[in-house]
Structure 1
């Protein structure tokens, strides 16, 4: 195995699930495992969560759902991106629950299901202001009335997506929720109910105490990060990203490091080479901004981040080839003091969000599953 590895902590994942369940109350937890479980490995994560009683999983695309089905995931799988017409057979073959974003989409699904003599299950996706997917909130009632007349399709859920749930106290959350509740009331006044009503994602679950419906879609909180950041959430990062020193060299004032001479040393110092780069998802935009841990101390990543390697300025510290390098995670120094770098830190350096940091970790980085701190 490569010395650069993403460690997936099963205990942290289970811990986060327990926190989420308490936060969600009676609502069903739908674990978002799209985009390779936000970089954490979709099969590994889904199997652990299924063993912990999770019965709903969220993906973006049918291909992701097929991977789950082929690896023993038997629960309900919701497709949260509208499927394409040619994927209808796949939706039916793998017993998927698509979101309905148009009457035309619903009609085709119903027709294909009827041809098989089955009834497909789907959730109505309502656009309350995100303006990305879904049926407009003002058209949703009439669309639902028409769709309910289609043989072969049962719409037993309704959902929406908050546009500003990751922004603390943003008023647009209440505006979207009010539109959604108004629609639900109108539907209920006509005697129509849904088994599953869901709007809350990680951000909404953590900062918004209003209606959460009967299901919550938890993504980044499952992996250890509340958005907006909330230390009181007591979540534990599931992924750590580690490598090792593979080269050490001494440089002098005026010497440059890496491509483009973007770092020129002003002192005599020691440069360590570490085998991780943007080919592994460690972004090039981290050039001149990032830090890492070696022997429990923080050191700057210097010079341009390469495809396969980075360089670290350790000054005059005693570092040897083979020393562990922590890009995301914790590490203790010689006196036992523990330092940490998490995906939020890396995201701040990169000018992005922690979602992108963990999701970016590429397939060529092995995932190592650990229980009680020990690899399997």
Structure 2
């Protein structure tokens, strides 16, 4: 389908018809998987578009092109994991540079910054990026960029990317946005002023817990050239087979996200009324501090819900009651997954770092899946009730 035809399609339709044209010879409606590592060059003085798999691959290009169009950027890049994509983004900076990073970002981001990039001389300050005053206070003459995780993990803080970008660009800072939780379906950070958007495509985009991948989309050609150099020089690119799986996941992303976020909204509201739950973190709740920004800048509130039990020691009693729900690391699959941030997504932090971020054993993160919402809500609320009835004094629930 021609680009001008695609632009006339509604948003959900674009996810199906972006990133691949029907093959004129075979009439195939999906791209083939090209596993070749090298390509014949009949005229090596005028090399063809494809020459070596690390430098470019037609299957990977289909995914990269789709992501660039869906994120409204100039060029997309597919990486072997979300962390590979983040690593490529951090490699844009030099020794002595200073970065401002979302305080409760995922633990892997903090691990690579502390264990690799801070060791190489890049300094990092973790701030609440939902508060512009904290960004201003943390600014130094060496600050080069802001990395915003939207929503943050695990407490789902909402950052006003439009305001952050206006502030950052006045100070010649780059704005990088980890858009994993929202996906291009719910938010397009580049249209709000961001310079790079990053995804762990392992999560909602692929959507089936069967592939590891990362994405970067650049807003301008100068940044795109720098990202491509890093992807190629460091050998960080995604394999053809995994590129195909992520591309396929994009086609059903709108349907999956609509189902999952409807269930997440219902679950969050049910947890508010569940004895033994003292806080519910979900931007779709009207009392959430970032609700108004989310309504203004996003197309929905996503499939993640985090809640806090009344007591940290309840978690050991809760787990046996969860029945069929998957417990472990990861999110964004078809199945509902419960993660315990202290043990899973933020295990790389020190106990002191987790305590400072209020990531304690009573915090439970839910990636709401595609099961019948009645089953999800019943299983979780009954599990919490079973624990609370065997424990004294459940307090009131806060909506956050």
TM-score normalised to the size of structure 2? 0.28
TM-score normalised to the size of structure 1? 0.30
Q: 1 or 2, which has the higher helix percentage? A: 2
Larger Rg: 1
Q: 1 or 2, which has the higher strand percentage? A: 1
